[in-house]
Structure 1
């Protein structure tokens, strides 16, 4: 009876008024409202609502550079994008990894990066494809692409360590990739009286890195949303290094321990008496369980795998999985060091025994 009464009340309202109300809902509330009655369910299918929601959640999706990426969206396009990108990747040790065989190209992927401070977006950028991976006219990969597939992968949003004022330049990073540099980005930070402001940055900073497969229309957020590490680098005059990321399960033929870490690194400094953030670097790469950088070929496989991972709306659960990976990583490194130490001792013992044997025959053998 109560359900029918509420549905009757909704029918008394105009569709324009209902749409005006629903456009103010977040994604979870909008999805819940769609389950209450047929009237709201129909309104919730309006892609304009989900488009507005995506633009407000990830301002990078509303930038001019992003328009052509969504031009092929049809029914449920923005709805699916939100459902894919809002929850974070959840690494579950008990879940099975289903092999995904597909042709992969760097140009298939785009990235939407948004940085927030105190719930206010302070930086938005779009990366379409990956630098230095163009394809020749005959369809064959050029030297840059072959180099990309075999060298350590590192996708650089920008690096403005040596850029002054609003100057924009381009160049090569330490791995040879073309840097996509931007002007100096600054945002006010509420800082205390201490010299180390790591706590304020942990509490206030949030970062989203949404990876988008342009061919299949799938998306995934590679970030942990909140930083998993913030530390001050005293040697560089007070720069702050921040880590975001996730853990991606992969097949054993990709990595022996079947786990890869997506590491999003951000570096900034505080400038001026007002305490402004000056961004110096934001980049993303993948590491294995001993901390080694993964090459471009396997990184493409990992990015594709991430699109099909389990998701969770609970950041603490995702953070715990990240911590478990770090513990496993330290244990693997400890065992490797122990194995190397034993091997060194055995080799040294073998050399000593050879030396003693030759010495014995030299001094005590009959002439």
Structure 2
């Protein structure tokens, strides 16, 4: 340690800062633990700001920087520490502050999509679109009741959505009017192999960082790597890619204390071999595969901000597999109950028919 400090004293602070600016977040944090000189440099927010911008280019957008600077977030080091590790599925966080009021405007999302380690799409969502008009203190408003009771879907991008159509049960952004070529042109990529599902599984990455502006907390809701890639032949060969995580929740929120955050991306392969985005959205499901309503979804978002984290993406995938196994088991039990109920009804009807024939028909 003394030798290290001796060598460090031979280097100027500017040179040390330049060296540490080249480190990733984990290495920078480890270097800060070695001595007081490096700790002082590692506390500089400019280093963590640069790390956040390189890891999530959406945070470098003008709108995102305004949201972060005006929030209660302590600094970019806290944003990185909250958002880089992924959610652990097996433990419910303790001491979670209760949501006294539903405040969709408190949430902001920073979404980045990568292909072969190159960022191809960055977007910022401030609040939950279509809910910004309601007052959080007005618990009896029609918009409030609609938000709490309807299925929750947070849509980032929907090329095929046409305002004025639909059943009104999903939360769509009011300002989601992007030019078709503006969406697709910057995000093209050529495929070399014929197995496009495997290509997407290997090369595509997605990050969805949720920020609570009021409390200064953040969390990454994505699995980073795809959890599932499949081709939908019914929609002219679109590819459906699933990202997300399993959020442990209180039993009062969902009976089985697990919620699946599903980030759904849908794209298609053009004739010239390029990939174009058609939809990116996020919603929650329970262990029965049912979409969670807005009230519970906001509670789950709040609990996700305080979940335990891990840098192991294998643990995230294990949690997803366990959730799917539990889901299939519940579906199997439900079908078994329905089958038993059907047999009981049929047996009851047969018994009535036999009894009716015995007493009514002549011997």
Describe how 1:257-336 pairs up with structure 2 within 5 A.
257-273=256-272, 275-336=273-334
Which residue is equivalent to 1:254? 253
Q: Please provide the CA RMSD for this pair.
A: 2.0
Task: Write the distance in 1 (CA, Å) between the matches of 2:340 and 2:163.
Answer: 48
Task: Write the distance in 2 (CA, Å) between the matches of 1:59 and 1:343.
Answer: 55
**Cα distance change on mapping 1:231 and 1:146 into 2, 3 Å:** same
Describe how 1:171-190 pairs up with structure 2 within 5 A.
175-179=169-173, 180-183=176-179, 184-186=183-185, 187-190=187-190
Structure 2 gaps of 5+ residues are none
Structure 1 gaps of 5+ residues are 163-168
TM-score by length of 1: 0.91
Q: Give the conservation status (yes or no) of the 8 Å contact 2:73–2:216.
A: no
Q: Once the 2 structures are TM-superposed, how far is the Cα of residue 198 of structure 1 from its aligned partner?
A: 0.6
The secondary structure found in structure 1 opposite 2:361 is helix
The secondary structure found in structure 2 opposite 1:185 is helix
Task: Write the distance in 2 (CA, Å) between the matches of 1:231 and 1:9.
Answer: 54
Q: Give the conservation status (yes or no) of the 8 Å contact 2:264–2:279.
A: yes
- Flag the structure with more relative contact order, 1 or 2, with Cα contacts below 8 A and sequence separation at least 6: 2
Of the structure 1 ranges 276-285 and 11-20, higher mean CA displacement relative to structure 2 is found in 11-20
Task: Write the distance in 2 (CA, Å) between the matches of 1:348 and 1:56.
Answer: 64
Of the structure 1 ranges 321-330 and 63-72, higher mean CA displacement relative to structure 2 is found in 63-72
**Cα distance change on mapping 1:102 and 1:272 into 2, 3 Å:** same
Task: Write the distance in 2 (CA, Å) between the matches of 1:31 and 1:173.
Answer: 48
Which residue is equivalent to 2:192? 192
2:123 pairs with 1:129: no
**Cα distance change on mapping 1:358 and 1:151 into 2, 3 Å:** same
- Residue deviations 1:20-65 (CA, integer Å, cap 9, x gap): 1111111001101101111000000111111111111111111111
2:199 pairs with 1:203: no
Which residue is equivalent to 1:219? 218
Which residue is equivalent to 1:42? 40
Which residue is equivalent to 1:350? 348
2:153 pairs with 1:159: no
Q: Give the conservation status (yes or no) of the 8 Å contact 2:86–2:223.
A: yes
TM-score by length of 2: 0.91
- Residue deviations 1:67-104 (CA, integer Å, cap 9, x gap): 22122468842111101100011112xx3553632223
Task: Write the distance in 1 (CA, Å) between the matches of 2:61 and 2:165.
Answer: 26
